[in-house]
Structure 1
Amino acid sequence: MDDEETIWINLPKFSERYVGGVEAFIQNAFPKFSVGDEITCPCKNCNNRKWYRADVIYNHLICSGPSTLYANWVYEVSLRSDRDSEDLIDCETNINFGDTLDEMLHRTNGPNDDVKNVFRHVQEGKQPLYPGCAKFSRLSFIVRLYSLKCAHGISESGFGDILGLIREAFPQAHIPLSFNAAKNIIRDLGLDYKKIHACPNNCMLYWGENEKENSCKTCGVSRWNIVEKEGTSNNDPKKLIHKVPKNVMRYFPLKPRLRRMFMCEEFAELMTWHALGRKNDGKLRHPADSDTWRAMDARYPHFSSETRNIRLGVAADGFNPFRTMNTSHTTWPIILVNYNLPPWLCMRQENLILSTLISGPESPSNNIDVFMQPLISELKELWEEGIETYDSFTSQNFRLRAAVIWTISDFPGYAMLSGWSTKGKLACPVCNYETSSMYLKHSRKICYMNHRKFLDPEHKWRFDKKRFNGDVEMGGCPEILTGSDIEELLSGYINHFGGDPHLRKKRKIDSPFKKKSIFFDLPYWSHNLLRHNLDVMHIENNICDNIIGTLLNIAHKSKDHVNARYDLQDLGIRKELHPIESGDGTRVEIAAAIFDLTKEEKDIFCAVLKNAKLPHGCASNISRYVHTKERKVSGYKSHDAHFMLHYLLQFAVKKSLKPEVAVPLIRLGAFLRGISAKVIDLSEISRLQKEIIEILCQFETIFPPAFFDVMVHLLVHLCREVQLGGPVNQRCMFGIERYLNKLKSYNRNRSKPEGSIAEGYLADECLIFCSRFLNGNEGATQLRSCPQKQEFPIGTRRNKDGTAVHLEESELKACHQYILFNSASKEIESLIE
């Protein structure tokens, strides 16, 4: 564009021709580019990244002038009102973006139709609830009212009656006429779920090509329960029956939920934290620092070149929605974790995505793949084709793709998701076919020992026959099966899901693989280095049970009993611990082991746990689980076991046990603290790996073989997973289990728990989305105050009346000292400044 054409842009901003040009631009631009009553501002400061009304954009252009990137576009719009949006954007610029013309047009055009539809509904929802209302907008009031319906179990008819009463009392209020109208407003925002019918024997879904089937193709069971309608006088059989599906799965579509992450400018910026905001110093702080993430980047550069593409983790676990142990019912949700976010946000409850809700009352077991078909299908589309998405932070459209990097589950869930059986002689999925296991005839269980094979080839313990199993250990570390190896092993394998439950029990498969996992349908899955995570939370819980139960000799929890001593006798090791039978064979005596505690020592052990004073918020009241009279510890939760292993056990064993036993247990606590750190130095991983191998070898010389269940053995593989996957706290079940507790709170209908959970989640999801999108207006404040969106920061305490707590001088000094002694040097310097 020459100087003659751009004369009004180059003129002083107070001149009449410049003001006229700005007015012409606004007059021509709003009919073509507005969403509601706003368009993106092309001034130098906003750079087409922020949306404003006409009067605001007029002031910006008068004060600051147009951005050099969009000066030609502003001029073209001011002159030609009859051109369409593509022609207006397709103008010459003085800046070379380094892209093709198609890519440049793709970057600079406005939101796509789906995003515009959401923006339009939100814009309409910003209208005040009634003329002059400053506290609620129309949308915020509807969302708040809908959340109360789900929180307090109000029926749909009751909700409709409440809407009618409000309209009758306040005729000027802009609210929907019925429950369905209110639900449609929420559905138009992309907040909805699908009900997919399933075979009651978990054989198939009535989805896709099978959507119109009326009976299962595998077992032949009917899709419907036939219920007769009441109060009908017509004898027509078609009118006297009502079809009710026998099994219903609820699926929450993933694509619209991923799109919504980029509609909020602040959240869209966080979605690139892993690439732009992460500190890259060689330490493990985030999964983006791990080998699995880097290997995917190297193998798929087209995927990794777009920093907004999303990496997901898939978590699955079952829970009882009734909060009572006398009711046997298991609901299985499948939850997605967004790893693009910073480590302090990716496991927060409001950022977890509920993908699938599998109805009970029984666990889907290996048939979980049947229910994951819609999710896997959508993930394949997101990898191969992607979806058109509008980024509010950069005001650009881009092609969004997503990939799953691993799964998170407990050990039985590991078997359901991976297909490898986690029971029997080959229970360890990492050691696979080279798992060292042994059946104990008297204890009637399988133990997993022989950890000397993980030692260095020249280590002296490999040749120590007396302290171990009587043999020299010449074996090496087992080779790990890659995804390609598993695909080759299972080539031609045909999965058999569902069927008659009685026939399923009779089916016997000798291979440790019970199925080929549905995740192998994803094109990249076989190349992922870490496909399934071992859950540290459940490993710690089981190890804590073994240690405390054995040391305190708790009934049914101790691993040292008469049968365990007979196992030692069969193995021919530790002869001093073999049982001694009386002459008549009616009585058996066993000698005290090195880890046995006297009554006084048990009292000391329990007193340490009972009298421990813990900082508020770091753990529950562990003292209530310590029963001093019975000299036992029971009833503690997973996080209590985590805290005891990491911090309290070392003090208890130091005061009550001999050094030969206390030292390995103290070293175990230090190891668990090392792998659970939020920041891990790569050089520490090899040291921790050697440490845990030696600890397990020491345990083999102390505890009986019955102590070594598969959970104890899995400790040897945790360092490898830290290197492949990053910090433990972002790959374990702690955050997922807390989220399951939140899902339980949504259940308001005992006859249909999954339906209540789905509706409650939908209401909470709507609140979170609107509070982010409406940030900065009065409606957002009201949404944040809703009890459905609560935040629970660890270590905080608030008075019930909301008043501040006044600290005495001594308390203030104690807090000040604590901060100084527990902060890094740079943090102290910043505090002093």
Structure 2
Amino acid sequence: MTEKGNTWLNLPKYTKGYMDGVKLYMKKAMANFGRGEKIKCPCRKCENRLWWGGSDVERHLIWSGPSPLFIQSIYDVSLLADKTDNVEFEHNTRFGDNLDDMLDVIYSDVGPNDDARKFYRLVDEGKQPLYPGFVNYNRPPWLNIKPENLILSTSIPGPNDPGNNIDVYIQPLIEELKELWKKGVETYNAATNQKFKLRASVLWTISDFPGYAMMSGWSTKGKLACPVCHYETSSMYFKHSKKLCYMNHRKFLDPNHKWRFDKRRFNGEVETGTSAPMLTGRQVAEILDGYENSFGGVGKKRKVSCDINPWNKKSIFFDLPYWKDNLTWHNLDVMHIEKNICDSVLGTLLNIGGKTKDHLAARLDL
């Protein structure tokens, strides 16, 4: 590159000399390589892949600067006469991620704010591997998300579930959720071409029954295993089967339902009980006020039986300012429940060994 080219391409992007150089380039490029009102953009993000209007390309070159792959070509074009034969831009390296395309569309009219500019810089830096040819962690982000290189960062390693310690793993998530609720994040609305504060909240979690215990802190084992009936859970221990059975489901029926009075088909008694009112979030927060969590122990035994105190911890979700006011906190994944019931029913009907519930111990308990 000659000295003349350095006078504007090597200047800081905010200087008048650089901006004048960009305008000169755009005048020559549109006259020689434009297709109607559009031209390929050689900025650091577009890398001669996307077609934009002349004013858009000019803004890209000022905001992001030229791609190192096209500096010589940009300089050559700026020296062209008013009209010449087309000269194709050449390059050997092309990053195939779609992130740059998306960001260009988002900020094509209003331009990125300071935080967005920092993010752009991180994206550019992230394309450069720390150690070429090394492990996944050193690859550019767009390569990491390919299936063959995918590493599930939210997976918890190890053969056992984390139990109560799951709060330790999701603590960074909770901090981000708190920020999303209190401060929000600046977001661009493409429909109105305006920016707004986007806030978010967690409605509930979805898990299987053991996962329910980990997320909520309520023990799903022992006499008080039902989180809906809570302290009024109806349970009975079968000494022959050596299992707890949860009874009195008829109490959820209408007071005049005929099954409440059916002794023969159930436990030989008329059901007069009523379902317990569900605990509200504020009630749970009051019950657990001052509860000291203990994390990090592996295989530690409970100091108090879950038959007396069913709470294993105060869930980290109560750190969210709105959590105690949610109407629902934790939902069960029906798939697991349906599968277990189906296995038990079919195993009993077909008398499958190890699956049937009709065995000697069950007959003795009846």
Give yes or no for the alignment of 1:389 onto 2:187.
yes
Using a 3 Å threshold, how does the CA distance of structure 1 residues 564 and 56 change in structure 2: closer, same or farther?
A: closer
Deviations 1:574-605 (A, max 9, x none): xxxxxxxxxxxxxxxxxxxxxxxxxxxxxxxx
Deviations 1:117-160 (A, max 9, x none): 555787x89xxxxxxxxxxxxx7xx9xxx9xxxxxxxxx97826
Q: How many residues align?
A: 270
Give yes or no for the alignment of 1:456 onto 2:249.
no
Q: Distance in 2 between matches of 1:391 and 1:372?
A: 30
Deviations 1:378-432 (A, max 9, x none): 2111111122334455443322222111112111111001001111111111121
Using a 3 Å threshold, how does the CA distance of structure 1 residues 371 and 121 change in structure 2: closer, same or farther?
A: closer
2:304 aligned partner: 508
Contact 2:181 2:199 (8 Å CA) reproduced: yes
Give yes or no for the alignment of 1:403 onto 2:201.
yes
Using a 3 Å threshold, how does the CA distance of structure 1 residues 389 and 508 change in structure 2: closer, same or farther?
A: same
Contact 1:409 1:534 (8 Å CA) reproduced: yes
1:112 aligned partner: 113
- Alignment equivalent of 1:523, drawn from 286, 296, 321: 321
Give the secondary structure class of the aligned counterpart of 1:404.
Answer: coil
Q: Distance in 2 between matches of 1:549 and 1:542?
A: 10
1:186 aligned partner: 141
Could you tell me which amino acid in structure 1 is paired with residue 269 of structure 2? D
Could you tell me which amino acid in structure 2 is paired with residue 438 of structure 1? M
Could you tell me which amino acid in structure 1 is paired with residue 292 of structure 2? I
Using a 3 Å threshold, how does the CA distance of structure 1 residues 158 and 110 change in structure 2: closer, same or farther?
A: closer
Could you tell me which amino acid in structure 2 is paired with residue 479 of structure 1? P
1:159 aligned partner: 133
Give yes or no for the alignment of 1:565 onto 2:356.
no
Could you tell me which amino acid in structure 2 is paired with residue 495 of structure 1? N
Once the two structures are superposed, the pairs formed by residues 111-190 of structure 1 within 5 Å of their partners are 111-118=112-119, 159=133, 183=139, 185-186=140-141
- Alignment equivalent of 2:266, drawn from 468, 477, 495: 468
Contact 1:442 1:567 (8 Å CA) reproduced: yes
Q: Distance in 1 between matches of 2:287 and 2:265?
A: 39
Give yes or no for the alignment of 1:414 onto 2:212.
yes
1:367 aligned partner: 165
Q: Distance in 2 between matches of 1:518 and 1:506?
A: 19
Give the secondary structure class of the aligned counterpart of 1:358.
Answer: coil
Could you tell me which amino acid in structure 2 is paired with residue 111 of structure 1? P
Deviations 1:441-477 (A, max 9, x none): 1111111232221221112222222332121111112
Using a 3 Å threshold, how does the CA distance of structure 1 residues 371 and 379 change in structure 2: closer, same or farther?
A: same
Contact 2:185 2:199 (8 Å CA) reproduced: yes
Q: Distance in 1 between matches of 2:183 and 2:222?
A: 42
2:230 aligned partner: 432
Question: 1:359 Cα shift?
Answer: 2.9
Could you tell me which amino acid in structure 1 is paired with residue 349 of structure 2? L
Could you tell me which amino acid in structure 1 is paired with residue 117 of structure 2? K
Could you tell me which amino acid in structure 1 is paired with residue 196 of structure 2? F
Q: Distance in 2 between matches of 1:407 and 1:462?
A: 34
2:71 aligned partner: none
Using a 3 Å threshold, how does the CA distance of structure 1 residues 157 and 491 change in structure 2: closer, same or farther?
A: closer
Give the secondary structure class of the aligned counterpart of 2:259.
Answer: helix
Give the secondary structure class of the aligned counterpart of 2:286.
Answer: helix
Contact 1:409 1:535 (8 Å CA) reproduced: yes
Q: Distance in 2 between matches of 1:564 and 1:430?
A: 27
Give the secondary structure class of the aligned counterpart of 1:408.
Answer: strand
Could you tell me which amino acid in structure 1 is paired with residue 304 of structure 2? K
Question: 1:36 Cα shift?
Answer: 7.3
Q: CA RMSD in A?
A: 3.9
Deviations 1:336-393 (A, max 9, x none): xxxxxxxxxxxxx9xxx96633332432111111222111112111111122334455
Using a 3 Å threshold, how does the CA distance of structure 1 residues 388 and 354 change in structure 2: closer, same or farther?
A: farther
Give the secondary structure class of the aligned counterpart of 2:186.
Answer: strand
Q: Distance in 1 between matches of 2:291 and 2:136?
A: 49
Contact 1:379 1:402 (8 Å CA) reproduced: yes
Using a 3 Å threshold, how does the CA distance of structure 1 residues 507 and 56 change in structure 2: closer, same or farther?
A: closer
Q: Distance in 2 between matches of 1:520 and 1:481?
A: 15
- Alignment equivalent of 1:493, drawn from 283, 286, 291: 291
1:479 aligned partner: 277
Contact 2:234 2:247 (8 Å CA) reproduced: yes
Give yes or no for the alignment of 1:53 onto 2:53.
yes
Question: 1:532 Cα shift?
Answer: 0.6
Give the secondary structure class of the aligned counterpart of 1:403.
Answer: coil
Could you tell me which amino acid in structure 1 is paired with residue 352 of structure 2? I
Deviations 1:170-206 (A, max 9, x none): xxxxxxxx999x73x539x9x89xxxxxxxxxxxxxx
Using a 3 Å threshold, how does the CA distance of structure 1 residues 56 and 361 change in structure 2: closer, same or farther?
A: closer
More helix by share: 1
Contact 1:408 1:533 (8 Å CA) reproduced: yes
Could you tell me which amino acid in structure 2 is paired with residue 469 of structure 1? N
Q: Distance in 2 between matches of 1:120 and 1:550?
A: 63
Could you tell me which amino acid in structure 2 is paired with residue 525 of structure 1? W
Could you tell me which amino acid in structure 2 is paired with residue 505 of structure 1? K
1:252 aligned partner: none
Give the secondary structure class of the aligned counterpart of 2:201.
Answer: strand
1:756 aligned partner: none
Which deviates more from structure 2 when the two are superposed, residues 382-391 or residues 407-416?
A: 382-391
Once the two structures are superposed, the pairs formed by residues 596-635 of structure 1 within 5 Å of their partners are none
Question: 1:53 Cα shift?
Answer: 3.4
Deviations 1:243-268 (A, max 9, x none): xxxxxxxxxxxxxxxxxxxxxxxxxx
Q: Distance in 1 between matches of 2:260 and 2:185?
A: 56
Structure with larger RCO (C-alpha < 8 A, sep 6+) = 1
Give the secondary structure class of the aligned counterpart of 1:398.
Answer: strand
Gaps of 5+ in 2: 1-19, 27-40, 45-49, 59-108
TM-score, normalised via structure 2 length: 0.63
Q: Distance in 1 between matches of 2:302 and 2:201?
A: 38
Deviations 1:540-559 (A, max 9, x none): 11001100110011112111
Using a 3 Å threshold, how does the CA distance of structure 1 residues 121 and 51 change in structure 2: closer, same or farther?
A: farther
Question: 1:513 Cα shift?
Answer: 0.9
1:356 aligned partner: 154
Using a 3 Å threshold, how does the CA distance of structure 1 residues 117 and 525 change in structure 2: closer, same or farther?
A: same
Using a 3 Å threshold, how does the CA distance of structure 1 residues 517 and 506 change in structure 2: closer, same or farther?
A: closer
Question: 1:498 Cα shift?
Answer: 2.4
- Alignment equivalent of 2:242, drawn from 441, 444, 447: 444
Contact 1:453 1:477 (8 Å CA) reproduced: yes
Question: 1:493 Cα shift?
Answer: 1.1
Deviations 1:659-711 (A, max 9, x none): xxxxxxxxxxxxxxxxxxxxxxxxxxxxxxxxxxxxxxxxxxxxxxxxxxxxx
Contact 1:436 1:450 (8 Å CA) reproduced: yes
Contact 2:43 2:57 (8 Å CA) reproduced: no
Give the secondary structure class of the aligned counterpart of 2:331.
Answer: coil
Using a 3 Å threshold, how does the CA distance of structure 1 residues 121 and 460 change in structure 2: closer, same or farther?
A: closer
Contact 2:349 2:356 (8 Å CA) reproduced: yes
Question: 1:516 Cα shift?
Answer: 0.5
What is the aligned-residue identity percentage?
58
Q: Distance in 1 between matches of 2:42 and 2:237?
A: 71
